[in-house]
A and B are shown apart, each in its own frame.
Chain A
Amino acid sequence: MSVLELSIVLMLLLFAILGSGVWIAVALAVCGFAAVMTKVATPAGQVLATSMWTASNSWDLTALPMFIWMGEILYRTKLSDDMFEGLAPWLQRLPGRLLHVNVVGCAIFAAVSGSSAATCATIGRIALPELLKRGYDERMAIGTLAGSGTLGLLIPPSIIMIVYATATDQSIARLFIAGVIPGMVLASLFMGFIAGWALLNNTRMPPPEPRLPIRQRIQASRRLLPVVLLIIGVIGSIYGGLASATEAAVVGVFLALILSWWSGTLSRQGFIDSLLGATRTSCMIAFILAGAAYLTAAMGFTGIPRALAEWITEFNMPSWALLSVLTAFYIVLGCFLDGISMVVLTTSIIIPLVTKAGFDLIWFGIYIVLVVEMAQITPPVGFNLYVLQGMTGRNIFAIGTYALPLFILMCLSVVLIAAFPGIALWLPSTMLDAR
């Protein structure tokens, strides 16, 4: 069998197994097994054991359960009330008024949480009912929430970045810091869109609320203090080189526990729920990573990634054309697959191509996170859509349409980081290295 035939067969096999409801981790591993079997001399079972062992016992990957646990603890606190009360008085005066709470709230919560759906759910829990009660446009309230929730992936800490970094042997800390400025750029794009929409559709905005005196506003924003301290503790220590990603995550767990205890929301049951929830989620992701590690090792034996890289280089495409093709491919893939599978499939097959085309792997990580963000809001498979469907009872295709303008802004931000790679790469170049 030629390499081309083999890759087509493997791809069909993977999609058939995935489609028949077999768990993603198992499907990846079985494909790896099939790929190894085409090389008669390779001991498939030994490759399985060693690649899964190497992928699972990793100090860097330890950041994953810790950040997930931190998010689980914070999800059970009153952080979302604090965020709304603290932000609302200040954002009241911008065109678009409280709709900005969605974006700013998500951006801030994203800096303590690594998940897009969790960000969407936490901010939405308070912000959405408040916005609808005050008579804001429903389409805008739901759409901007769906889009802004995806900032959870781009602004560190980020689960998907940990997955990418461990699968490609990049520094988690650097990738985290690389996400900060693109995250802010994307949030500003979202806010610009809200302001523009509000100026054009003045009639669809509710009447403004009375302005609070400055003293009361400052008093309200005191409620933001704990979350700000948490952000400084976690991201600050990574940026300053004081702690590795894992250590920062452990700091985050302890700070989140203290915050939860201090605000009186820490209960025995809540603690147990957060711990077991984190155990299950991190187990699910670690299992996918183990399956993907086997697939990656197997792919190395088949020579498919190398052949693909050579084949693409023969076209001599300029890098913008290659990126456009990849982006289109990811957008289609993102309609049907979840973010983690998209990333691990990429790392086992496309990374040699990406390196050969001369992309920086940290930069490419940010790019991947952006396309995965788009996948979160493209129906029929998109986790933020599921979350908002659960909250509002709307059909996911309807919510997808509400979020369409934000999807377009994400495409714009891909163009921006491609044109100005410094958006992603400048900040990590200034950071101190963790020990």
Chain B
Amino acid sequence: MRPALDWVYRGALWASALCLVAIAVLVGVQLGARLIDGVLALLHLPRTEFVLLSLNEICGYLLAAASFLALGGTLKAGAHIRVTLVLAALSEKRRRYVELWAFGFAAAACAYMTGHLASFAWVSFRFHEVSPGVVRVPLAYPQAAMSLGALILTIALLDELSVVATRGRPSFRAAEDAITVGKEG
């Protein structure tokens, strides 16, 4: 079970990272084309007029997919922020109960979120909703990726709930307490 779960978190995190790379490459290609056109114009040569159609929409969808697919991996890395002021002040024994509550509560909330995101994606799929603009991207794809990410987060929260129940503390405690640069924005 353990290796399979970790594989899911890691795989989704990598899928998310690849979405971000795709954004950088797509926007980079478009900028490069604009640069070449600028040079060509200076030399009085005909421009390439190369345009990636619907670039803005596609990047937006890639971002939505990336943001949600990474949710589980981010939780496991202890990078989702929360107020630990009260938790840190409690004794290890009491803290455990509060942690159980936090994981259970968050898991229930995320299960609710998963359900509604999934039914939202399902409606888009049933009615063939597509993006505005020239390239018609079915909206169900990015929305399905979002629900999948929410589902993985729910699983990760339940996973950690069982970790706290058996071992007394979340597996990412050390990472959460450490200072990750950029956490505050």
Interface positions of A (Cβ within 8 A of B): 17-27, 29-30, 33, 45-46, 48-50, 52-53, 56-59, 61-62, 65-66, 68-69, 71-72, 75, 114-118, 121, 153, 159-160, 163, 243, 246-247, 250-251, 253-254, 275-288, 290, 336-340, 376, 380-381, 383, 386-387, 390
Contact = CB atoms under 8 A, between A and B. Distances in A.
Contacts of B74: 279-280, 283-284, 287
A26 B31 contact: no
28 contacts: A20-B98, A21-B82, A21-B84, A22-B82, A26-B110, A30-B109, A46-B120, A52-B117, A56-B64, A57-B64, A62-B27, A66-B24, A69-B20, A118-B181, A163-B185, A247-B27, A247-B30, A250-B27, A250-B31, A277-B182, A279-B20, A280-B13, A283-B67, A283-B68, A286-B63, A288-B81, A336-B83, A383-B179
Nearest 5 Cβ contacts at the A-B interface:
A49-B120, A286-B67, A283-B70, A383-B184, A45-B116
Contacts of B113: 29, 48, 52
Nearest to B70: A283
A285 B185 CA distance: 8
Contacts of B80: 23-25, 284, 287
Contacts of A33: 109, 112
Contacts of A340: 81, 184-185
A417 to B, nearest CB: 21
Contacts of A25: 80
Contacts of A23: 75, 80-82, 102, 106
Interface in B127-162: 142-143, 146
A228 to B, nearest CB: 21
Interface string B165-185: 000000000000001111111
A280 B87 contact: no
B143 A282 contact: no
Query: In this complex, which of B59, B87, B120, B183 has the most chain A Cβ atoms within 10 angstroms of its Cβ?
Result: B183
Given A69-B20, A115-B181, A275-B21, A58 B63 contact: yes
Contacts of B60: 57-59, 61-62
A219 B73 CA distance: 46
Contacts of B71: 283, 287
Nearest to A383: B184
B30 to A, nearest CB: 8
A73 to B, nearest CB: 11
Interface string B86-124: 110000000000110110011001101101110110000
B11 interface: no
Question: How many interface residues does chain B have, given as a range?
Answer: 35 or more
Contacts of A53: 64, 117, 120, 143, 146
A117 B184 contact: yes
Interface in B19-63: 20-21, 23-24, 27-28, 30-31, 56-57, 59-63
A380 B77 contact: no
Contacts of B115: 45
Contacts of A383: 179, 183-184
A29 B184 CA distance: 19
Contacts of A26: 105-106, 109-110
Contact of A284 (B62, B79, B105, B109): B79
Given A33-B112, A62-B62, 9 more contacts: A45-B119, A52-B117, A59-B60, A117-B179, A153-B185, A250-B24, A254-B24, A282-B70, A283-B73
Contact of A282 (B20, B77, B86): B20
B20 A65 contact: yes
Contacts of A66: 20, 23-24
Contacts of A280: 13, 70, 73-74, 77, 79
Contacts of A254: 24, 28
A68 B101 CA distance: 32
Nearest to A69: B20
B17 interface: yes
B132 to A, nearest CB: 12
A56 B64 CA distance: 5
B176 to A, nearest CB: 10
